Structure 1
Amino acid sequence: MTEIGPPVTLNDWFARLEAMPVPEGYKAEIIEGTVHLTSRGDSQWAITADLYEQLRTRYPRTRLKSGARLDLPGRLNSYAPDLMLLAEEAEQDGRGLWRCADVQFAVEVLPRDTPDPAHGLREAGYALAEVPVYFVVDPRRGRCHAYSKPGEGRVHEQTDGHLRRRRGSHRHPGGHCPQNPRLPPRLTPPLA
């Protein structure tokens, strides 16, 4: 019998994940060599879709990606941001992946029903990759955070804001998040 050792590369990890599919309603990311499964509910999709619609008024569809594989520096890191904005001149590499250097900002919507144990690790990974802005929406706490000015493998600035309900909207309530000149001017994720 042939022994199967631990995965050595990100491609090894993804080959194994494809052989044993990720359960529906979850996304898989590889963070520091460990597979993290995160639940993806309707509230996360509603928030992501709302952000996408807002950003589409300012950026072409080809610059916005959701759930695309993004390999980051460090030991076996591959994330799937809920939404990311690519630079105008961004091109995929020879493997068909987007380069970290082309990501202008990444958005993660934390699960509403369970804590996300990989959140701090993601923050460090995006800082190490020098993604200019890492935007986190936390519907459980009704908060959002913008981490910016990465350098030396850490984030140098954090801006926090509260999510506030929009008037007249019960089905898709929303909120206003912190404004940052490097972020699009209007980000109002719903708390659906």
Structure 2
Amino acid sequence: MNDTTARRRLALAATALAAVLVTAGCGPATGPEQSTSPTPSPTENACGDARPVEALQTAIDKAAAPEEGWSVESSDITEFNACSSLSWVVLKTESGSDSAPEQVAFFHFGVYDSTAYDEYFAFPTSVERIDDATVTVTWTYPEAIDRNGEKRTESMSTYTWSDVTFSIDREGELPPYADGDEWNNNGPAPSN
């Protein structure tokens, strides 16, 4: 084999190896006939891998649950977004009643972070996006003086992902029992 043939074979082998490495995601293309698109950042790679149902299962496994457990079918995954700084799923039980337990589980770029509060809440919870890194959580519950559940009041907190602390910061009010008040199925217990 002469030098020219050996060089051609070596060049073909190098081109084939580069194509395999690019296809496997191990590096950027370098040859003139190959793509020169930028390699995705780690965040872009990570966010493409998380799926809502898998995220829900992670939240179910990690969040404190009521005796009946969280329901995959009843929980809400519509706002999960693996490419968002802060997204969420709402964990629910099978009963689906107005006073059934609910919990909000937060995710940062598809990775489970925490819940809105350590305890689940046995009345409707709503979540609204403010921007990519900020959401508000509103808890609705009976007023202390109205045990029949018809009159409702709310507590609201704002949750923001912080790139400084690499955690979620909370500002605002929590439901009454979160501050140590006694709570029962009909609402907060009256204070003495």
| TM value normalised by structure 2 | 0.32
Larger relative contact order (Cα-Cα within 8 Å, sequence gap ≥ 6):
1
| TM value normalised by structure 1 | 0.32
